[in-house]
């Protein structure tokens, strides 16, 4: 089967959850014997290191220019455009012309990676291609959450408008796509609430269990906490700032000398200036390889207060055998068992107590480390998830 795949970014460095998922899902399609041609938007950095190694004989990539992100003229256009900002930025006349110029039979199926690419759905249907949407997030839901937590009134208004625009766009995609893939059961239910007749499959995000090998975290060596992710991504930024302001002071009272490292690319200035190793709050930023930080840490924390989809950071921690402490939303949809795979605290005080338990209870640490790894191998191996996604594609192509 020949697959046309449309994505808002390439599956390359700097890696984030979306790029990693994209790469592994494409790898799953290639392993099933299919060919993939990816149309994506340039990210301004040029070709980078692949997030996932892909078979060059059956995979090709075409890059297109994206819209400018700033300037008063662009802001006015964004406000007047019916598409939400993220979808407008990846709307390319060149991609639309490419689709309109397709010869019959060149492709058997199209994949839209995220609702951002939904504006291309009519063109793909004109080309008589079945379309599968990989809904990494429910973008309208996520935009509403971001707006509710935004500090500035202008940001709240902008995000509220974007949430309404995304709701209209997602409503059309959920109704008109031939199949939709959600990353969690809660997101599946949100899709079905909008489009009850849609065929929705759940394929969570996963982990490379060989790259993130288990290391012995059954006994703490220090009092090192670790959080990873794209630090400029609004839910992660909110989590980092909340941790600095409310969680770490409480952890310091319970575990004197504890320190937290934030690892990930794109830390904004408001976060970077909080870097203070002496106080136990380290903003490390982007690193070439996060695995050594996972191996050196004692507890992995996910203090998210908003979000959608599934969290690669959570399953990477499980695979590494690193005891995991999270809010409920930080592991939503993963089906993890409290006290076996994860400890959950939804306010600053409860979160700090969970960290204290993870550092001081030997039997609990051992259970979290060993059972977490077993859960990652059993349910979140990318090879299995990629094969499952390939099955969804084959079913959609058959109709």
Sorted by where each starts, the structural domains of the chain and their CATH numbers stand as: 2-206+382-398 (3.40.50.2000), 224-379 (3.40.50.2000)
Kindly list the distances between the CA atom of residue 72 and the CA atoms of 68, 69, 82, 93, 156, in Å, as whole numbers in the listed order: 11, 10, 18, 22, 19
Beta-ladder partners of 67: none
Q: What pLDDT shows up at residue 80?
A: 81
Cis peptide before 14 (omega within 30 of 0): yes
Max alpha carbon distance in the chain (Å)? 67
Q: How many whole angstroms separate alpha carbon 110 and alpha carbon 98?
A: 13
Token pair in block for residue 250: 């409480």
3-state secondary structure of 195: coil
Q: What pLDDT shows up at residue 76?
A: 65
Q: What is the pLDDT along the chain (399 residues), one digit of tens a residue?
A: 999 999 999 999 778 889 999 999 999 999 999 999 999 998 666 677 888 889 889 999 999 988 766 566 666 677 788 999 899 999 999 999 999 999 999 999 999 999 999 999 999 999 999 999 999 999 999 999 888 888 888 888 888 999 999 999 999 999 999 999 999 999 999 999 999 999 999 999 999 999 999 999 998 788 999 999 999 999 999 999 999 999 999 999 999 999 999 999 999 999 999 999 999 999 999 998 999 999 999 999 999 999 877 689 999 999 999 999 999 999 998 999 999 999 999 999 999 999 999 999 999 999 999 999 999 999 999 999 999 999 999 999 998
Residue of 289, 288, 302, 296 lying closest to 215 (CA atoms): 296
Kindly list the distances between the CA atom of residue 350 and the CA atoms of 184, 254, 324, 356, 376, in Å, as whole numbers in the listed order: 25, 12, 14, 10, 25
Instruction: Supply the DSSP string of 373-389, one letter for each residue.
Output: HHHHHHH-BHHHHHHHH
Sheet holding 299-302, edge to edge: 281-285, 259-263, 224-228, 299-302, 324-326, 343-344
pTM above 0.85, yes or no: yes
Q: What pLDDT shows up at residue 309?
A: 74
| Residue 224 phi, psi dihedral angles, 5° rounding | -95, 125
Residue of 223, 326, 273, 101 lying closest to 334 (CA atoms): 326
Q: What pLDDT shows up at residue 42?
A: 84
Q: What pLDDT shows up at residue 45?
A: 60
Q: Is there a contact between 318 and 207 (Cβ–Cβ < 8 Å)?
A: yes
Q: Is there a contact between 111 and 22 (Cβ–Cβ < 8 Å)?
A: no
Residue of 52, 49, 63, 60 lying closest to 28 (CA atoms): 52
Q: How many whole angstroms separate alpha carbon 383 and alpha carbon 362?
A: 33
Q: What pLDDT shows up at residue 286?
A: 93
Q: What pLDDT shows up at residue 151?
A: 80
């Amino acid at each position: 089967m020949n697959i046309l795949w449309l994505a808002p970014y390439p599956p390359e460095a700097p890696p984030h959850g979306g790029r990693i998922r994209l790469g592994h899902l494409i790898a799953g399609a290639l392993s099933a014997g299919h060919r993939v041609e990816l149309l994506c938007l340039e990210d301004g950095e040029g070709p980078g290191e692949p997030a996932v190694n892909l078979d060059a004989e059956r995979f090709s990539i075409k890059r297109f220019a994206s819209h400018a992100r700033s300037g008063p003229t662009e802001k006015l256009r964004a406000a007047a455009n019916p598409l939400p900002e993220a979808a407008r930025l990846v709307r390319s006349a060149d991609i639309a012309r490419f689709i309109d110029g397709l010869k019959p039979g060149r492709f058997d199926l199209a994949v839209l990676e995220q609702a951002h690419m939904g504006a291309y759905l009519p063109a793909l249907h004109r080309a008589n291609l079945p379309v599968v949407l990989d809904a990494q997030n429910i973008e309208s839901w996520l935009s509403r959450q971001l707006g509710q937590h935004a500090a500035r009134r202008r940001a709240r208004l902008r995000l509220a408008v974007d949430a309404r625009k995304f709701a209209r766009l997602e409503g059309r995609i959920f109704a008109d796509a031939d199949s939709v893939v959600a990353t969690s059961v809660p997101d599946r239910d949100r899709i079905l609430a909008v489009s009850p007749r849609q065929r929705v499959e759940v394929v969570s995000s996963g982990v490379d269990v060989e790259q993130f090998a288990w290391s012995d975290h059954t006994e703490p060596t220090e009092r090192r906490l670790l959080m990873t992710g794209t630090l400029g991504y609004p839910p992660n930024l909110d989590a980092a700032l909340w941790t600095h302001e409310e969680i770490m002071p409480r952890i310091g009272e319970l575990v004197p000398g504890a320190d937290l490292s934030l690892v990930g690319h794109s830390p904004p200035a408001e976060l970077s200036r909080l870097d203070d190793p002496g106080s136990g709050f380290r903003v490390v930023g982007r690193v070439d390889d996060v695995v050594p930080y996972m191996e050196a840490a004692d507890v992995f924390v996910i203090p998210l207060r908003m979000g959608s989809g599934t969290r690669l950071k959570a399953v990477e921690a499980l695979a590494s055998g690193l005891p995991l402490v999270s809010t409920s939303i930080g592991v939503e949809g993963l089906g993890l068992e409290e006290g076996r795979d994860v400890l959950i605290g939804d306010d600053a005080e409860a979160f700090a107590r969970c960290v204290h338990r993870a550092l001081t209870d030997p039997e609990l640490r051992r259970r979290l480390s060993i059972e977490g790894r077993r859960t990652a191998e059993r349910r979140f191996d990318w090879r299995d998830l990629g094969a499952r996604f390939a099955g969804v594609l084959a079913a959609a192509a058959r109709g």
